Each structure stands twice: as C-alpha cells, then as structure tokens.
Homo-oligomer: A and B are copies of this chain.
Amino acid sequence: MTQQLTEIQLAYIAGFIDCDGSILAQTIQKSDYVLKHQIRVSIVFYQQTRRKYSLLKIQEELGMGTIRDKPNGMSELSIIGQQNVEILLRLLKPFLRMKQKQANLVLLIIEQLRSTKKSLKISQMPHEQSRLNFLDICHLVDQVCDLNYSKSHTITVDFVTQRFQDLKWIQK
C-alpha cells in the first residue's frame, strides 16, 4: 500500500468489487510442491479496456496489482499473493455488501495455509495430518468457487482427495 486509503476510497473500491470484481481462490496442480498442489488467492477488478483508466486509478491507490489487456476488449487488475490479498481484504471487508462471504472465506484460507505451512516447516505435524488439513483448505476453496458460480473449477476437494489416496498419502 503506497498510501493510507480513506474510507471513501475503500467504499468506492468495495462497490466496484461487488459489481465488477471477484474475490477468488483456486487449487492448482504443481508437481514440485510438497503437497503437489498450490492454493492461489486473488482479487480481480474487471473493466472494458476503453475504461482502463479506472483500473489504473485503483492500482495507483492500492500501490499494488498488475493490469492485463485481454483480446476480448476487457482489462483486468489482479492482486495476487496471500500477503497483498490479506491486507486488502481486511481493509475492504467493512464496506463489501455482496462479496463479504468470499472475503471471509479467503481470509480463513490464508490463515489456515499459514498455520499448515508453519507446522510443516517445524515438522510439528505428522504428514497425514498436514495432508488432511490441506484437504480442509481445498474444501474452503470449493465454497469460494461455489459462491462465485465458477465454471472452470475442476481441482475440487474430491479431486485432491482422490489424488492423495492414489499416492497412498491418506487412508481411504
């Protein structure tokens, strides 16, 4: 955050996200990850490229995010990474009206990812337990996708569970 955002700025940005934004979580297959999957969280603002200036303004206010022009005449401002998403969601939460559930779930996902990662690092947790914890997080991701009526959500908790069973990482 390059500067302190006012409540007026946050309220406007919340109105924008509620209408033309998304608070997202997704599970991605990653062979080089300990648990073979990565959980990504992001906040995306959509706008027609002819009104890209509105995305540039929000990017400037937030002091973060990447803008991408798509071939279909749309542009997107994406905030990715747990730390940035967490900071922004905590600020926006009081002002969101339609996507508050997604915000709460994504904050919970970030929190649980952090504690699972910490446990893995200091080897406090048996492997099976950390895998089960990860499946709990995948279940939260499913809930976010359901709230967003996501059509491209294929790596569901059932999918990851099956994969973990195939790898004999967890019991059937």
Residues of A within 8 A of B (CB): 7-9, 11-16, 18-20, 47, 51, 54, 57, 95, 97-98
Chain B residues, CB < 8 A from A19: 15-16, 19-20, 47
Measured in the bound complex, the distance between the Cα atoms of B9 and A15 in whole Å is 10
**Residue of A13, A15, A16 most packed against chain B (CB within 10 A):** A15
Q: Which of B20, B57, B97 touches A12 (beta carbons < 8 Å)?
A: B97
Residues of B within 8 A of A57 (CB): 97
The secondary structure that dominates the A interface is helix
A-B pairs, top 5 by smallest CB distance, nearest first, are: A15-B15, A19-B19, A11-B11, A19-B20, A12-B15
The 11 sampled A-B contact pairs (Cβ below 8 Å) are A7-B7, A8-B11, A9-B11, A11-B15, A12-B15, A12-B97, A16-B19, A18-B54, A19-B20, A20-B20, A57-B97
| B54 lies within 8 A of A98 (CB) | yes
Minimum CB–CB distance for A18 against chain B, Å: 7
Chain B residues within an 8 Å CB radius of A16: 15, 18-19
Most buried by B among A8, A9, A57: A8
CB contacts (< 8 Å) of A12 on chain B: these are 11-12, 14-15, 95, 97
